[in-house]
Amino acid sequence: MRILLPLFLIFAPLLKADSFAAKTKPLFEKYCVSCHGEEKQKGGIALHDLNTIEDAFKKHGLLESVIDQVQHEEMPPDDEQSLPTQSERKQLIDALSEVQERIESGDIPQRAGRTTLRRLNRTEYHYTVRDLFGIDFNPSKDFPADGAGGEGFDNMADALFSTPTLLEKYLSAAQEIITAIYNDPKLKRRVIFQTPEKPEQARTIAEKVLSFHATLAYRRRLSEEDLLPLLTAFDRAMEEDPNFEKALRAPLTALLINPRFLFRAEHDEAGKEEWPLNDFELAARLSYFLWSSMPDQELFRVADSGKLRDPEILRAQVLRMIKSPKASALSHHFAGQWLGFDKMVDKVEPDKNRFPSFDLELRKAMYNESAEFFSHLVRENRPITDLIDSDYTFVNARLAEHYGLSAPPRGRAMQKITLTDKNRGGVLGMGSILTATSHSLRTSPVLRGVWILDTLIGDPAPPPPQDAGELPADDSNTQGLTFREQLAKHRERPSCAGCHSRIDPLGFSLENFDAIGRWRTKDVNGQLIDSTATLPGDIEFSTPQELKNLIMAAKEKFARNLTRKLIAYATGRSLEYYDEAVVSKIVAKTSQSGLKMQDLLLEVIESRPFLNRSATR
């Protein structure tokens, strides 16, 4: 017995894995792998490699979609010669659901996760040099664009590559910044805050000036190794020309191209599986999460005291930082990328002839409505469900006129107003979202439906098959068919029908909003808008308000998705299966107090993946 028990413990995980494979592998091979296997992967979905429960853990995001489609008999498609019996469907659903339940409950090995070395993205670089030296221009405007990582954000470590072109841009930007400082007497006095009265004091005072700025720039206590190259550059400059202020140009420039400034590194601890971030690393995570910038002197002071990890002190710092105007960065750069209203800056281009009223002023107002709305949620600790449905928004005179509001405010400033039209409140009634999910000449029920599933619910539809075909770009010439009828014809393809049955109804219910977010009762051809919709399960609805009611009924899925996005943005990495238990815990806790925005942010910041670092991913 003493021998058998350890052997059982060793092989228990394998028995679980075999049990999972025994229940699922034959069904996948019989019904699925011909289209989703090693040779062919329709929609980019592969199921042939789910050989163990560990494989299933790693593909947990896919499993939820598989469960849903098998449950609603969308997959396998009806045109297949062999279809699973109800008993087989139940067997597969039960096995996959068990995996999901284990992940969400935390009945799996847990760890904090690991973020790789991360450079400052363009926004972070801009805001950091602004706060470091007080410059009022954007020196990163010519940097190459940062690609979005797996979670859709441009601050994901794995997507922040460094190229020779970018390194050249860093040098040019550093020179531009230092030149601007030296050309502005006020700014120059702020940066070179002390000068020597005697020549022999020059190096001592240079060390004081450089130590101050380098400590802030490197976001930690300075070591002799950190300071030596800067002082060496100062010494060489003084040898060439003993002008104190001129001699500081070289080390100040060098500081801005130093990897300690350009990259955010977090320490490893040999021999450990997991360890807490030190206070300076935590301060940097906190400030780049909430501000997209470096810690301020108050946060540095607390980090230097070694007390930032104290729960009460950490919470006080978070609440202080949320009150700062710099917290608007969370709205612009987290919410803007997550919800997609950042496309209003330079990606959305409605046709000028079809929509002549869409101008730069309206574009800015739409963007500002969404940004101010999200900032309000954070600042006032409003429920996150306000994003789905609310009785208020922020408009100026131009946007109010566009929406046809009966009592519009005056002026260009955004003002909070009460809404009486229940179809308009929340992000689904915002011009920025409605325009960003339309084509240049027409609305797109497909884009809007995909956006709801992916962005709000976190249940993305698979990409369309290669033979899906294209819908007309213009809905003014539909050969006697309404655009809805053309879309129905498109959906007759068996490979398209399953996904479109989930996607299109969501978009149909928003058809009264045109391609730039105005309410309409007729389409461009003068035909009455048909916004009736039916989801699988005979769920019928027809207005934006009824759609919002459905999403509110699934608000836990919405809360889980927003929590995942916040953790990803805050840590700079894609989420793994072991993060799902953290998500469940945060949603459960914040649900008790009404899913308030500040509460959610605090829970994310106090979570295991935010406060700690693992040896492996």
Give yes or no for residue 50 having a pLDDT over 50. Answer: yes
What's the pLDDT at 540? 94
Burial of 554 (0-12, 13-18, 19+ CB in 10 A): middle
The answer to the question of residue 568 being in a domain is no
Q: Residue 401: what are its φ and ψ, rounded to 5°?
A: -65, -40
In a shared domain, residues 508 and 456 = yes
- Taking the C-alpha atoms of residue 587 and residue 345, their distance in angstroms, rounded to an integer, is 32
> To the nearest 5 percent, what fractions of the chain are helix, strand and coil?
55, 5, 40
Give yes or no for residue 14 having a pLDDT over 50. Answer: no
- Taking the C-alpha atoms of residue 130 and residue 108, their distance in angstroms, rounded to an integer, is 44
Residue 565's nearest CA partner among 449, 456, 420 is 456
In a shared domain, residues 418 and 457 = no
Query: The pTM is what?
Result: 0.90
Provide the H-helix boundaries in 106-223. 122-133, 164-182, 185-191, 202-218
Mean pLDDT of 423-436: 97
Q: What are 389-426's pLDDT values in tens digits?
A: 999 999 999 999 999 998 778 899 999 999 999 999 99
- Taking the C-alpha atoms of residue 505 and residue 167, their distance in angstroms, rounded to an integer, is 48
* Domain range enclosing 257: 116-323+577-617
Residue 79 pLDDT grade (very low, low, confident, very high; cuts 50, 70, 90): low
Mean pLDDT of 58-77: 79
The answer to the question of residue 387 being in a domain is yes
In a shared domain, residues 269 and 156 = yes
Give yes or no for residue 43 having a pLDDT over 60. Answer: yes
In a shared domain, residues 123 and 56 = no
In a shared domain, residues 270 and 225 = yes
Which of 1-15, 67-81, 219-233, 371-385 is predicted least confidently? 1-15
Residue 260's nearest CA partner among 294, 308, 303, 291 is 294
Report how far apart, in Å, the C-alpha atoms of 130 and of each of 127, 136, 138, 293, 429 are. 5, 7, 8, 9, 35
Q: What are 330-369's pLDDT values in tens digits?
A: 999 999 999 999 999 989 999 999 999 999 999 999 999 9
- Domain edge (last residue) among 57, 79, 105: 105
Residue 459 pLDDT grade (very low, low, confident, very high; cuts 50, 70, 90): confident
The answer to the question of residue 569 being in a domain is no
What's the pLDDT at 494? 61
Q: What are 216-257's pLDDT values in tens digits?
A: 999 999 999 999 999 999 999 999 999 999 999 999 999 999
Do residues 121 and 154 make contact, with C-beta atoms less than 8 angstroms apart? Answer: yes
What's the pLDDT at 147? 84
- Taking the C-alpha atoms of residue 485 and residue 480, their distance in angstroms, rounded to an integer, is 10
Mean pLDDT of 161-181: 96
Mean pLDDT of 584-593: 96
The answer to the question of residue 559 being in a domain is no
In a shared domain, residues 153 and 179 = yes
In a shared domain, residues 148 and 293 = yes
The answer to the question of residue 562 being in a domain is no
Number of domains present in the structure of the chain:
4
The DSSP line for 427-477 is GGG-HHHHHHTS-SSS--HHHHHHHIIIIIIS-PPPPPPTT-----S-SS-
Give yes or no for residue 12 having a pLDDT over 50. Answer: no
Mean pLDDT of 33-39: 84
Residue 26 pLDDT grade (very low, low, confident, very high; cuts 50, 70, 90): confident
Residue 170's nearest CA partner among 228, 129, 211, 136 is 129
Give yes or no for residue 8 having a pLDDT over 50. Answer: no
Q: What are 524-553's pLDDT values in tens digits?
A: 888 899 999 999 889 999 999 999 999 999
Q: What are 115-165's pLDDT values in tens digits?
A: 999 999 999 999 999 999 999 999 999 999 998 877 899 999 999 999 999
Do residues 508 and 531 make contact, with C-beta atoms less than 8 angstroms apart? Answer: yes
Do residues 499 and 445 make contact, with C-beta atoms less than 8 angstroms apart? Answer: no
Mean pLDDT of 2-29: 60
In a shared domain, residues 408 and 309 = no
In a shared domain, residues 548 and 465 = yes
The answer to the question of residue 417 being in a domain is yes
- Domain edge (last residue) among 75, 105, 135: 105
The answer to the question of residue 589 being in a domain is yes
In a shared domain, residues 254 and 170 = yes
- Taking the C-alpha atoms of residue 552 and residue 595, their distance in angstroms, rounded to an integer, is 12
Length of the chain: 617
Q: What are 470-485's pLDDT values in tens digits?
A: 777 787 766 667 777 7
The answer to the question of residue 561 being in a domain is no
In a shared domain, residues 425 and 481 = no
Mean pLDDT of 453-472: 78
In a shared domain, residues 121 and 16 = no
- Domain edge (last residue) among 385, 416, 436: 436
Mean pLDDT of 311-329: 98
Give yes or no for residue 64 having a pLDDT over 90. Answer: no
What's the pLDDT at 482? 73
